[in-house]
Amino acid sequence: MDIEEDKNNRLASLCRSLGNISRVTIIQKVIETKSCVTEDLKDIGLSSSITEQHIKALKKEGLIKGRIARSKACYCINIDKLEEFKKLVDGLYNKAKQHENITCSRDGIS
């Protein structure tokens, strides 16, 4: 696998993980909360089992970190993974920006 393909695979994987409104809401709650977020996640309107599935997916992707302490689950953002996502999206944007003068109008599409 070449470097470009690896970047595309990582970007696609992160987009899949963030492509769910519940997961984005969980990420935002984790960012806003400065302590264990288990109790705070109850107000997002999902059952605890569904919330746990989303958290598991976010942890698997590395977007959040978590641990169990005294029967409480504590989660925090993995800022390095968010930074990676930002860089990958920026790379895609910059590539598109370089080609913005190439329009579809030469093909009759406007």
Distance between CA atoms of 104 and 110, rounded to whole angstroms? 6
Residue 95 lies in a domain: no
Please give the residue range of the domain that contains residue 21.
3-90
Residue 28 lies in a domain: yes
**Rg of the chain in Å (alpha carbons):** 18
- The closest alpha carbon to 24, from 66, 73, 57, 72, belongs to 57
| Residues of the chain above pLDDT 90, percent | 46
> Which CATH number characterizes residue 26's domain?
1.10.10.10
Residue 81 lies in a domain: yes
Looking at residue 78, its pLDDT comes to 92
Helix (H, G, I), strand (E, B) or coil at 26: helix
Count Cβ atoms below 10 Å from residue 11 Cβ, excluding itself: 17
Looking at residue 48, its pLDDT comes to 81
Residue 7 lies in a domain: yes
Residue 60 lies in a domain: yes
Query: What is the 8-class DSSP label of residue 10?
Result: H
- Give the chain's domain count: 1
- pLDDT below 50 — which residues of the chain? none
The average confidence (pLDDT) of the chain is: 84
Helix (H, G, I), strand (E, B) or coil at 63: coil
Looking at residue 76, its pLDDT comes to 87
pLDDT in tens, 55-77: 899 999 999 988 766 667 788 89
Residue 26, classified by CB atoms within 10 Å of its CB into exposed (0-12), middle (13-18) or buried (19+), is buried
